[in-house]
Amino acid sequence: MNSKEDILFRPWNELQNLQNHKLHDFITRHLYPFSPYYRNIFDENKIKPKDIKTVEDLQKLPFTSKKDFIALQREEDPQKKLAFLLQPNKELIKKFLPKSELIKFFSSRIFHGKEYLENCLEKEYRPIFLTATAGTTNLPLPFLYTSFDLENLKVYGSRLIEVFDIKKDQRVMNVFPYAPHLAFWQTVFAGFSGNIFIISTGGGKTIGTEGNIQTLLKVKPQYLIGVPSYVYHLLKTAREQNCNLSSLNCIALGAARVPKGFKLKISKFLDEMGASQVSVIGTYGFTESRCAWAECPTDIETSSGYHSYPDKEVFEVIDPETGEVKGEGEDGELVYTNIDARGTCVLRYRTGDLVKGGVLYSPCPHCGRTVPRISSDIVRASNVKNVQLSRIKDTIVDLNTLEYLLEDKEEIDDWQIEIVKKCNDPYEVDELILYVSLLKEVDKEEFTTRLNQEVCSSSEVSFNRIHFVSRKEIQQRIEIESAVKAIKIVDKRPGV
């Protein structure tokens, strides 16, 4: 046993029992009594909360999706906007808490007084922190945390540190953009709870890339964590300045799917800066979960999958068309349920993220943890929903595939895709234009033909034009220094 948290190494059937127990407990004592949204869902569907005893029982309940959150945000009544928030009060406690829990409540009131009880409730349920969705096409959606959830954020943080295997004397540099976004704060809390030195620079927007390079050189971290596009830009700029970054031995990226070619490009830069045998690993998380999961540090060829927390959540994988629950290792859409949370809580939340290889329940071959592992091959919903599923020439194009292909190419430095109307005419067909900067000299004509052939065989489209531009121009286009997230895809069609 090499972890403080034995729970993550217990046999899966024990963890499963714990998960079922916590699910039942959460629904009967917290979610149904105090969540206006879910109490309504249970009542409308005539489902008794006490009948949800196991993960399988969840199938009796309908799904929740981002659309439900957006609909509530559009409500005039501020109270309705908070329908996903757990909000206990005296009447609800009396009316809905199971008898055993009520007895506990009243005896604690007798022993410690009314004020004590009110303080406890206030502390457990009062929202004091939030992170929000990036909101590129919709309004940003806020997810609230109470001090209970912030304690959990620390638990997740120390689990991330343990999965990454960061030692006490090692240092971490966090270049996630400073914003009310989960990735930045999860990393900050990981440092607090793991008792690890983490410097959080806020990324390029706060102190600029030069400031980040100076910090890298001064702090000499072993770990660097951030979004792939910015980490790539930072390391490439550092290499151009012939920096010595030999201290680095692990790059952790806040991205669900990082192509091998991208990992190799980063490893090459690092190798040229004195850092060899660097692991490049991924983390997965979404605003709604208020936590992140990590892969084990493995070599570039293999991936352990994301180590989930069965004592805190339930993951289901479903057929995105029919909603049918899939078996172990089967492809589908990830569905997430809280079983140990306060603040904004969700049940059977459809992430929209499609996972190839599903969830595995065998122990991790790298670290031995027995927790369910989510396959690292995830196509993010945020990409699909925002711009990726565009109707171009009457073909639905999943731009995730194009993105993956371009990131994987060893010749390509950086890129941006523009979707425009031909001749700027709103009644014309759509066109796909690629702007690309290169890492090495190529025969441009041959490269254009080859790239378009590959794009065509994977997505059944091709670029109408490919423009080769300088690195400086591409950096300006994607706004790497100033945007919170690099702008890799621009939809310039009117009305989009």
The binding site for Zn ion (CB under 5 A) comprises: 296, 304, 364, 366-367
Task: Indicate the residue among 227 and 252 with the shorter CB distance to Zn ion.
Answer: 252
Q: Are 185 and 291 in contact (CB under 8 A)?
A: no
First to last CA, the chain: 54
User: Interhelix angle for 114-125 vs 147-164, to 10°?
Assistant: 50
Question: What gap in Å lies between CA 47 and CA 63, rounded to an integer?
Answer: 14
Task: Indicate the residue among 252 and 346 with the shorter CB distance to Zn ion.
Answer: 252
Minimum distance of Zn ion from residue 367's CB (angstroms): 3
Nearest of 3, 2, 4, 5 to residue 312 by alpha carbon: 5
Task: Indicate the residue among 307 and 488 with the shorter CB distance to Zn ion.
Answer: 307
Minimum distance of Zn ion from residue 371's CB (angstroms): 9
Both structure tokens of 1? 């046993």
Task: Indicate the residue among 304 and 459 with the shorter CB distance to Zn ion.
Answer: 304
Task: Indicate the residue among 68 and 295 with the shorter CB distance to Zn ion.
Answer: 295
Minimum distance of Zn ion from residue 15's CB (angstroms): 15
Supply the DSSP string of 27-80, one letter for each residue. IIIIIHHH-HHHHHHHHHTT--GGG--STGGGGGSPPB-HHHHHHHHT-SSHHH
Task: Indicate the residue among 137 and 362 with the shorter CB distance to Zn ion.
Answer: 362
Torsion of CA 262, 265, 267, 269, to 10 degrees: -140
Minimum distance of Zn ion from residue 282's CB (angstroms): 13
Pairing mode, strands 306-307 and 373-374: antiparallel
Both structure tokens of 291? 């936590």
Task: Indicate the residue among 303 and 475 with the shorter CB distance to Zn ion.
Answer: 303
Minimum distance of Zn ion from residue 368's CB (angstroms): 7
Q: Are 199 and 304 in contact (CB under 8 A)?
A: no
Task: Indicate the residue among 191 and 305 with the shorter CB distance to Zn ion.
Answer: 305
C-beta atoms surrounding 464 within 10 Å: 17
Minimum distance of Zn ion from residue 306's CB (angstroms): 10
Minimum distance of Zn ion from residue 55's CB (angstroms): 22
Minimum distance of Zn ion from residue 369's CB (angstroms): 5
* 276-314 burial: b if 16+ Cβ within 10 Å, else e: eebbbbbbbbbbbbbbbbbbbbbeeeebbbbbbbbbbbb
Scan for tokens 């409500």, then name that residue. Answer: 75
Both structure tokens of 92? 């609800």
Task: Indicate the residue among 303 and 448 with the shorter CB distance to Zn ion.
Answer: 303
Residue 349 DSSP symbol? E
Minimum distance of Zn ion from residue 251's CB (angstroms): 18
